[in-house]
Amino acid sequence: MFSQALSPRASVQALRGGPHSCFHAAQLSARVPSAASIVQNSNCRARLTLDAVRLSRQSRVMQYKSYRLFHSTVVSRGVIPFHLADIGEGIQECEIVQWYVKEGDRIQMFDKLCEVQSDKATVEITSRYDGVVKKLHHKVGEMAKVGQPLCDIETASAQPTSAPAAASSVVAPAPKREPVKPAAPPSTPTAPVAPAEDGNAMTFATPAVRRVAKENGVDLRQISGSGKDGRILKEDVFAYIEAQKGGSSAVRPLPLAQTASAEIPTTPVPLTPLQKSMFKNMSRSLQIPHFLYSDDVYTDNLTQLRSSINKLIASEPKKHSMEKTSYMPILVKALSAALVDFPLLNAQLVTAADDPTDVSKAKLQYRSIHNVGFAMDSPLGLVVPVIKDVQNKSVLEVATEMYRLTELGKAGQIPPADFSGATITISNIGNIGGGVVSPVIPPDTLVIGGVGKIRRIPVVEESEGDERISIKSAMTVSFSADHRVVDGATVARFVSRWKAMLEDVGMLVSGLR
């Protein structure tokens, strides 16, 4: 009977030539039923054939998987070049400030490798691998290009560990380490130590100190720091300079300008990374036809508003990170409020890359978000961080963000992302001095404002037909605009609106959202 036929697996083996295929084929041939039986049992035979085909496919898949597993291999060890990743803002190269490791050191993931300085900030580079440092490709002070190796790391596997490939310092829990014995107290700053044999020796100093040392031709590796954990201070640098000149070690440090005047280089020196960035940006900016508009803003009411805000901050010290704020957050917020009715001044002029003068390809890109850049003096020089989404922030929120960026700027550690996306810029030179300024328009914007020093001036006022002279506090504000698409009347109306908001708190509040 047909029920005595071979099992599906045996039938497959007979058809595919598997083990004992001859024996099973003979059995299959001997047990094939008659034609009548085949017709009567066609449904059963169809199921048998389908099962045989399915088993045949499964067998082929199993053989393929076994083949792949049999030939797979794992690389036991490998040397991986650790490249300088793109840190944004179009930065193509960075200066090696210091190495935290040396060749032969064993490192773990997230350990600091080195500190690099771009044209805007310093960034700590951390490891993405566990392994041993085999080679350092750059010495301290050399320029490393984006995409090129910083160092070579020998790892237990040639495949990188699953960690983020960020170039900046990674905020993550540090790996557990053996407790380290405290180092001996640092020597006095006036007793320079012998120069380090390793050109990549690690030194602890802020960007401001490094700038002073670089301008005075001082090798920080020859100075023993008197700060916390051996950190080198400005006083240590000045004391070292005096000691090299044969002066007394107790001499009071001189200001930077006085000290640097005696150390003016007599040969040409290369531009710093920040100066290179300024050179490129200003060369682009000066191709823009500028025009200047200035006016005086009376600040008596503005001063009262600032005092009220500072009282609020002082009454809630745990809620706010800063102890007080300046005029700038109010100026920035009022600038955003005035922009609502003048969207052209927040736009971007897009021109053809091959021919910026081709008017047929010129377009205006309007932007609804107000990202206000503010120029600030930092140890690295002039930088312009950006406060994002100002139109949706309160004055206190703007002040908090400005405080955060200012503190990072003092340490030279503003992230590259905080330099991008400005739609309008304001510069406050008034904390140093000056009145009318002529600010240069940054690329990709149409307007920039400058604020001078607050001063007391005589003002002629009219009251019921009489004129009298009164003394008021005032500051001069100056705006430069791109005359290719912005006319003077538009800027004058915009500045008048901004001025009215600063002089009348009620108008400022009514314009806020």
Give the Cα separation of 456 and 472 in Å (integer): 6
| Pick from 226, 224, 250: nearest CA to 239 | 250
Q: Which amino acid is at 147?
A: G
Q: Are residues 375 and 406 in the same domain?
A: yes
Lowest mean pLDDT among 314-318, 392-396, 433-437, 495-499: 433-437
Within 10 A of 9 (CB to CB), how many other CB atoms are there? 14
Residue-wise pLDDT tens digits, 255-287: 444 444 446 767 888 887 777 877 888 888 888
Question: Which one from 300, 341, 355, 487 is the annotated catalytic residue?
Answer: 487
Whether residue 304 lies inside any domain: the answer is yes
- CB proximity list for 120: less than 8 A, separation 6 or greater: 89, 91, 274, 277, 380, 383, 414, 416, 419
Query: 431: exposed, middle or buried (C-beta count within 10 Å: 0-12, 13-18, 19+)?
Result: middle
The residue out of 155, 174, 200 marking a domain boundary is: 155
Residue 495 has pLDDT above 70, yes or no: yes
- Model pTM score: 0.58
Whether residue 277 lies inside any domain: the answer is no
Q: Are residues 466 and 376 in the same domain?
A: yes
The residue out of 115, 137, 155 marking a domain boundary is: 155
Whether residue 502 lies inside any domain: the answer is yes
Is 487 considered catalytic here? yes
Q: Are residues 445 and 482 in the same domain?
A: yes
- Mean pLDDT value across residues 124-153: 89
Residue-wise pLDDT tens digits, 313-348: 999 988 888 899 999 999 999 999 999 999 999 999
CATH number, residue 138: 2.40.50.100
Is 105 considered catalytic here? no
Domain containing residue 90: 78-155
Give the Cα separation of 478 and 118 in Å (integer): 31
Counting the structural domains of the chain, the total is 3
Residue 40 has pLDDT above 70, yes or no: no
Strands 466-482 and 290-298, bridge-based pairing:
antiparallel
For residue 480, what pLDDT band results from cuts at 50, 70 and 90? very high
Determine the pLDDT at residue 292: 95
Whether residue 19 lies inside any domain: the answer is yes
Whether residue 213 lies inside any domain: the answer is no
Determine the pLDDT at residue 385: 93
Whether residue 179 lies inside any domain: the answer is no
Q: Are residues 452 and 308 in the same domain?
A: yes
Question: Which one from 137, 290, 320, 483 is the annotated catalytic residue?
Answer: 483
Query: 271: exposed, middle or buried (C-beta count within 10 Å: 0-12, 13-18, 19+)?
Result: exposed
Q: Are residues 354 and 447 in the same domain?
A: yes
Q: Are residues 477 and 385 in the same domain?
A: yes
Q: Are residues 346 and 469 in the same domain?
A: yes
Query: Interior CA angle at 354 toward 350 and 360, to 5°?
Result: 55
Residue-wise pLDDT tens digits, 226-246: 776 677 877 788 888 877 776
Whether residue 362 lies inside any domain: the answer is yes
Q: Are residues 407 and 478 in the same domain?
A: yes
Q: Are residues 25 and 140 in the same domain?
A: no
Using CA atoms, how far residue 121 sits from 26, 413, 415, 427, in Å, is: 83, 5, 7, 19
Whether residue 182 lies inside any domain: the answer is no
| Pick from 99, 143, 111, 88: nearest CA to 415 | 88
Q: Are residues 427 and 305 in the same domain?
A: yes
CATH number, residue 480: 3.30.559.10
Q: Are residues 67 and 99 in the same domain?
A: no
Long-range contacts of 336-341 (CB under 8 A, 24+ apart): 336/370, 336/372, 336/390, 336/391, 337/391, 337/501, 337/508, 337/511, 337/512, 337/513, 338/494, 338/497, 338/498, 338/501, 338/511, 339/370, 339/391, 339/424, 339/494, 340/391, 340/511, 341/497
The residue out of 139, 155, 171 marking a domain boundary is: 155
Residue-wise pLDDT tens digits, 350-398: 999 888 889 999 999 999 999 999 988 877 778 899 999 999 999 999 9
Residue ranges of alpha helices (H) inside 166-233 are 207-215
Q: Are residues 369 and 406 in the same domain?
A: yes
- Which residues lie across from 477 on neighbouring strands? 295, 451
Determine the pLDDT at residue 223: 82
